Structure 1
Amino acid sequence: MMFTGGSHTKKRTNNSSNKKSSSQDRIERSRLNCQEIRVRYAGRPPPINPSRVRQIVQDGELDDFDGAIFTNGIARRRGAIKHQKVHEVKGHKFVAKFFRSPTLCPFCKEFLWGFGKQGYQCQLCQCAVHKRCHDKILGKCPGSGKESQSTIYLRERFKIDVPHRFRIHSFMSPTFCDHCGTLLYGFFKQGLKCEGSKRSPSPFEDTTPTGSTSASRRNSAKSSTSSTDESDSSTEVESDSEVARPLTEPPARNRPKFRKYGAGDFVFLKVLGKGSFGKVLLAELKNTECYYAIKCLKKDVVLEDDDVECTLIERKVLALGTKHPYLCHLFCTFQTESHLFFVMEYLNGGDLMFHIQQSGKFDEHRSRFYAAEIVSGLKFLHNKGIMYRDLKLDNILLDYEGHVRIADFGMCKLQIYLDRTADTFCGTPDYMAPEIIKGLKYNQCVDWWSFGVLLYEMLVGQSPFSGCDEDELFYNICNEKVAYPRYLSKEAISIMSYLMEKDSTKRLGTPYCSMGDICDQPFFDGIDWKRLERKEIEPPYKPKVKHVLDTQYFDPGFTAANPQLTPVDKDILASMDQVQFKGFSYTNPNTTD
């Protein structure tokens, strides 16, 4: 029986060592004032210790405390994460995976290769099978029973845990691992072989779990992420001065005709954003004066991450968003052989993360206005049975008038009505609710927790929870209380404390909440919700956009790039299963004539 050689576990070390402070610096923490705290953390954003801040405020040690500890601001953007869908069969925990090298399925003895034969891999024992084979497994996962009570009893009773005698072996011909199906690489000593076994038994046979090999013991559950980056090609970018528009006109001044659109109908002008998913481009519809933001996804990345369903859900929610003023509106979707395209309204006011980084924080009036429009959009989604799950500053954009739009619906979950729940671990770590972190079932209440974190960041300019790594951050979210600076009003503190309630059944925004409806909270006194939904309330801030191609509210590192798509390798294109994207193309009748 052959197995690939064991992988070496890398240990993360912290290079920064605790240095001894000078005698003048050895003063009691209780006597530190705001200026001393700022000096000690100069040059790096310090993690907030909520317990310490509350103690300082309650003990009256900082009589003039005005939130100086919270003045470092949000210095970076935070990406969302999502664990893959897990298919549990006989103890195996299969997740979809793209295999870049020839891999043999131990069940049907056929190769897994290309997007058309993308397979599953167990997170525990690393065995790889076709999608069509994963539900036909008869034997249990070796990793699922190695720590069971019966296994521990037998191991301690008889002191026997060596069913195979593995030795390093040099294979003279191409050989595949009998467990994970991967080709054993190298010219000599490519892997391990059992001395007492002349054949290579299938890992799906119902054998005793005590036979777990040293290689499979070292394998741990992994979350598959894609780090595919988009590269740029050379092309000329149209000058900003060529097209000038008054500030009172939207980027799309008229409604195009209802028809099927394709890549040849648009001219790409600038890059607005870029990530592992692809690019967001500013484009002009040919022979019109309509400008749109086009989100371009690489099909190979979508297939590799098993995100086809999420992409189709995003299209459905975007199409639904045209019925509400504070959701991003979809114009159309289309596809090419290598890419998927979402054509959306161009929101040239930038996102709230950009504005927070520029101004540090918002005043209460401005924060209240943005929060009210976000509440209106969230309640619309929840009434439609949609759970958003990725509410953050980066996903709230401003239009040319200063009104907000909720964008990026790739994390949405549909049909969450009544007692239906979800359990997927997804979202941006700083905004995750405690029930997501703990692996509990949850519903739309997680959006109201994220809304409380977002409101805190707008008012304070700092995240309510922090940590040196994700483990510490998640611990603080689940256990620590939030510290509020003194300059916040009682109404603001009250609504944020209700929103960031760790017990999801008591959280503000949930049905039958004892605090009432979120729109009736004192913080929103003075908001006429009917006028708000008709966009009749004047925004407190209007973006100073000079013309339609003015991208001053977007990262210059993106806008300076060349607006072209990266070509995909012909071999990858030939192996793609295009059937999975059938029905993706769509033209929104609500935004066309």
Structure 2
Amino acid sequence: MTCYRILGEGSYGKVVLASHPAIDQKLAVKLVQKKRVFKANDCNAIFRERDILKAARESPFITHLFGSFQTENHLIFAMECLSRGDFFDTFVEGAPFPENTIRYFIAEMLCGLQFLHSKEIVHRDIKPENILLDDAGHIKIADLGLAVSGVTESKRIEGRAGTILYMAPEILQRLPYFGMADYYALGIIVYVMAVGGHPFLSCDESSEEILKKVTTLEPDYPEDMDTNLRDIIERFLCKDQEKRMRLVSEIREHPFLQMVDWKETENGKSPPPFPAGNLSEEDLSEGVPVDEFIQSVDRGKRIKPEKQKEFYGFTYVSERLKLQPVA
């Protein structure tokens, strides 16, 4: 595997642009330092993320995991790399969006979220940066590092997780919650797409101020906003998760979505409103082998042999991975 540049960094490690001669596709490779996993005392989280990505492999609206493997000091996820980047780039430049764009976005996001929830998975960090666009303009939900499986209405979880600007009231209030928290985050994004600003918050507010506003304030809506668009946003942003669940139970039948061809959308055939444009090909003529890249950016003590057993069984290869012979 050859690495070219860093795409992003997180608490556990880095995501880099990479390629492999046996795969005719660019890869987003997540490098997780084992020593950071041990420091966080949460080895199970790495296996949980891998297993959730495996469970989500059937959906075209979730980024695909091609495989996972490990070196002496690193755990590595090889993911599909989406050339158009995350939705945040489009998000900040485009708001407010036309209604047909908002409708398309809601439809594909619903397909992705409903798939996750059908597998008893709650994402917990839905935000523009974690929504990617493929070459054609279709949506891919990414970064399932905070996702939790085995979550249903009757089997809820607790604990704050995610990005505070998109946290549901039940998470901020530290109440038991389930997949409805993802719908609330979707509502925040849709509101910003429709209006151009956050429904409650401004910059540099304390956690206490955010909690108070999110749990007490109602959004302002432009007088000329389409009534059906407003209604679907209000359903997503309902502060009571029990009521929110009832309001979104038949969300595909909502009047704002009546023009959506759900079969076409589920199959990834719905024409995206984002023009494909001319994507410039990145120069991949120069790179370094993954081992050299790791050694150059992540120096540190080696993991002791007795600790390596914590990661037995981490390797996985997707059935979608069509390897080509390496010359």
Do the two structures share a fold, i.e. TM-score over 0.5? yes
Q: Deviations over 1:332-362 (max 9, x none)?
A: 1111111111101111111111112233432
Change (3 A) 1:443 1:289: closer
Question: 1:575 & 1:436 partners in 2: Cα distance?
Answer: 39
Instruction: List 4+ stretches of structure 1 deviating above 4 A.
Output: none
Please name the residue that 2:308 is paired with: 578
Taking every aligned residue pair, what percent have the same amino acid on both sides? 32
The answer to whether the 8 Å contact 1:356/1:461 transfers is: no
What is the number of equivalent residue pairs in this alignment? Answer: 312
Change (3 A) 1:328 1:514: closer
1:159-170 to 2 correspondences below 5 Å: none
Report the residue type matching 1:500 in the other structure: L
Q: Deviations over 1:151-210 (max 9, x none)?
A: xxxxxxxxxxxxxxxxxxxxxxxxxxxxxxxxxxxxxxxxxxxxxxxxxxxxxxxxxxxx
Please name the residue that 2:136 is paired with: 401
Q: Deviations over 1:278-307 (max 9, x none)?
A: 211111112553221111111111221233
SS of residue paired to 2:272: coil
Please name the residue that 2:275 is paired with: 542
Change (3 A) 1:386 1:425: same
1:300-315 to 2 correspondences below 5 Å: 300-315=35-50
Question: 1:488 & 1:591 partners in 2: Cα distance?
Answer: 46
- Higher RCO (Cα < 8 Å, 6 or more apart): 2
Bigger proportion of residues as helix? 2
Please name the residue that 1:267 is paired with: 2
Report the residue type matching 1:320 in the other structure: A
The answer to whether the 8 Å contact 1:429/1:474 transfers is: no
Report the residue type matching 1:315 in the other structure: R
Matched, 1:471 2:200: no
Change (3 A) 1:575 1:458: farther
SS of residue paired to 2:214: helix
Change (3 A) 1:488 1:469: same
Question: 2:312 & 2:201 partners in 1: Cα distance?
Answer: 43
The answer to whether the 8 Å contact 1:400/1:545 transfers is: no
- Deviation, structure 1 residue 447: 1.2
Report the residue type matching 1:568 in the other structure: R
Question: 1:348 & 1:574 partners in 2: Cα distance?
Answer: 38
- Which structure: larger Rg? 1
Please name the residue that 1:519 is paired with: 252
- Deviation, structure 1 residue 442: 1.2
Matched, 1:497 2:234: yes
Which is worse superposed, 369-378 or 433-442? 433-442
Question: 2:198 & 2:50 partners in 1: Cα distance?
Answer: 31
Question: 1:392 & 1:527 partners in 2: Cα distance?
Answer: 23
Question: 1:354 & 1:437 partners in 2: Cα distance?
Answer: 27
- Deviation, structure 1 residue 545: 4.5
Please name the residue that 1:209 is paired with: none
- Deviation, structure 1 residue 516: 4.8
Question: 2:23 & 2:234 partners in 1: Cα distance?
Answer: 49
The answer to whether the 8 Å contact 2:55/2:119 transfers is: no
Note the aligned Cα RMSD (angstroms).
2.1
Matched, 1:410 2:145: yes
Please name the residue that 1:590 is paired with: 320
The answer to whether the 8 Å contact 1:430/1:465 transfers is: no
Report the residue type matching 2:48 in the other structure: I
Question: 2:157 & 2:27 partners in 1: Cα distance?
Answer: 34
The answer to whether the 8 Å contact 2:235/2:247 transfers is: no
- Deviation, structure 1 residue 514: 5.3
Matched, 1:319 2:54: yes
Change (3 A) 1:420 1:275: closer
Please name the residue that 2:265 is paired with: 532
Change (3 A) 1:515 1:373: closer
Change (3 A) 1:361 1:301: farther
- Deviation, structure 1 residue 427: 1.5
The answer to whether the 8 Å contact 1:277/1:301 transfers is: yes
Which of residues 537, 546, 568 in structure 1 aligns to 2:299? 568
Question: 1:460 & 1:447 partners in 2: Cα distance?
Answer: 20
